Structure formats: structure tokens, C-alpha cells
Amino acid sequence: MKYDEFSIVRSIRFTSLAILLLISYCLTISASPVEKLKAEDVVRKHLESIGTPEQRAAAAHRVILGTVQFSFRARGTGKTLGNAVLASEGMMSLIGMQFPNAEYPHERLGYDGRAFTTGFIRPGVRTVLGDFMKNRDSVFKEGLIGGTLSTAWPLLDINNRSPKLGYEGTDKIDGREVYVLSYSPKKGSDFQIRLFFDAMTFQHVRSTYSQVMSAMQGRTDKDSARQSASRYQLVEDFSEYKKEGELTLPHTYKLALLMDDYRGTVKSEWTLTLSQFDLNHRVPADSFNVEAYKAGS
């Protein structure tokens, strides 16, 4: 079969156009935004990522053990290793850390369903994190701290907690697309709260708690000019999701506290690597009142 010059040119042009259209189509697919969802849709898919309703209900008494690395950066830097425990039952929850350090022997945060408590490292002296949370305990009482690791996680009981949830669109964390929800507890909070969920798995990967306090008025205009707003941010990161029993839970939990005020800027981080999960282990109710323990015990 013979082809004239015009037919050959037309064939080449057609093939080139087809290739360009195919490339354009593929780029459109890869660049297409993730599905826009309502807040309740994100919550529903998130709960499914943990386990079925029956599986979630069965893991009602949790004790989780692991190690923790603490680091801080202020005028100097430091780092220490220790052991960590997380325990929860219903609304009660506990985070404990133990360090071989005389200046910073432990971290204890607990809520027994009535009051939030934090341990003392010396008579009348709390840790930086303990003091920070003691003055802003609403998020711990709400069950937000610890995410899906805790039975107190409010999204497990959204109907009774009745928070105000808002869909904030999408963002990216380490290159991954995430859905963002705003969260306002029914009784209010000192923080602006954002919850982040992986757009593919709907696993909870981050929570941020931000607070900005306006500058105090000085005695003179010159004094006032030296003042600046105080900024505080607590960030929780959750990763390394794996199956434990019937639930899919994070095995790396990171807390980062940034305080920027008149005393300077201090950043503290606690990275917990969790290895032992007992999802049906009862803990005595009085254990969640950590103030009852003596310092150093």
C-alpha cells in the first residue's frame, strides 16, 4: 500500500495530537484535588480506619508501653531517654514518662473524669509541660491529647461530646495530602484547634493547639513598645500505624511544645516509640489522679 506525502504528515500530526491529549489527561488526573467532604464524612471514614464499632468498643481499657526521647532547645539544648506509659478507660486518661535525670525525673498528666492533675518534680514545682497543661486543661479533659491511642478520643463519642466541627479544606504534611478539621469543644477552649487526617487512609496524623495572647500594657509608651504578644503552640504527630489486636493504631507519638513569650523562646519535644499494647487491661481508677503520687516515686 502506498502513502502520499500528505497522508504521512497527517498521520504524524494525528499521532502527536493523540499523545499530547493522553499526557494532558494523565496530568489532569494526577493534579486533580482530593474529594471535598463534609466534616462528618471525614469523621466517619476516620473511625472506620481504626476498626469496626464492635472492635473499637471492645478495646475499652488500654495500657500502652514504650520508650521516650525528650529534647529541648532554649538558651541551650539537651536530650534524655526514658520510659513511657499511656493508660485510658472511658474519659479517664493518663500519660506518664520516667527519666534517669534528677532535674527532670518524670512527666505525669492525668484526668480521672473529674479533675486534671499533673505531678510535681519538687514540692510546689511542676514541669514545663505540666504547668502549661495545668493552666490549659480543657483539651486534656476533652480527650484530645493522645489521639486514637486513648479511649477518651472525642471522635469515638461524637454524639455525646457535641463539639463544633468545621471542614477547613486540605493541606500537606510531609508531602501527603491531608484533610483539616477545626474543633471547638462544647465548653470552649483556650486554643484554636485543628485536626489533620490522611486523605488516603483517613488516619489521624496531627493535632495542633495554638494560642496567642496580646501584649500587656506597660507603664509608659516606651515600655509598651518593648512588649510583644505571647505565642504558644502544642503539636501532636502520629505515625507508624500498625495493627494491634483488632485496631489500627499509631506506634510513634510525638509531642512538641513551643512557647514564645517575654521569657524567650523554648521548644520541647517528646517522641514516644510504643511497643506493647494491652487493649483490655483495667487500671485502678485512682491511678488517673497523678498528683497523688509522690515526686520521685
pLDDT in tens, the chain (297 residues): 444 544 544 544 544 544 444 444 444 444 445 678 999 999 999 999 999 999 999 999 999 999 999 999 877 788 999 999 999 999 999 999 999 999 999 999 999 999 999 999 988 899 999 999 999 999 999 999 999 999 999 999 999 999 999 999 999 999 999 999 999 998 888 899 999 999 999 999 999 999 998 775 444 444 444 567 899 999 999 999 999 999 999 999 999 999 998 778 899 999 999 999 999 989 999 999 998 654 444
Dihedral sign, CA of 281, 85, 251, 49? positive
Does residue 190 form part of some domain? yes
pTM for the full predicted model: 0.83
Dihedral sign, CA of 4, 7, 10, 15? negative
Query: Cα(257)–Cα(249) distance, rounded to whole angstroms?
Result: 23
Q: Give yes or no: residues 22 and 45 share one domain.
A: no
Q: How far is CA 231 from CA 188, 228, 254, 288, in A?
A: 19, 9, 20, 30
* 155 backbone dihedrals φ, ψ, rounded to 5°: -70, -15
Does residue 57 form part of some domain? yes
Does residue 297 form part of some domain? no
Counted domains in the chain: 2
CATH of the domain at 230: 2.50.20.10
Compute the mean pLDDT over every residue in the chain, rounded to the nearest whole number: 86
CB count within 10 Å of CB 224 equals 12
Q: Give yes or no: residues 3 and 127 share one domain.
A: no
At 141-199, the pLDDT tens digits run: 999 999 999 999 999 999 999 999 999 999 999 999 999 999 999 888 889 999 999 99
CB count within 10 Å of CB 128 equals 15
Q: Give yes or no: residues 54 and 18 share one domain.
A: no
Q: Which domain holds residue 19?
A: 1-32
Q: Give yes or no: residues 210 and 266 share one domain.
A: yes
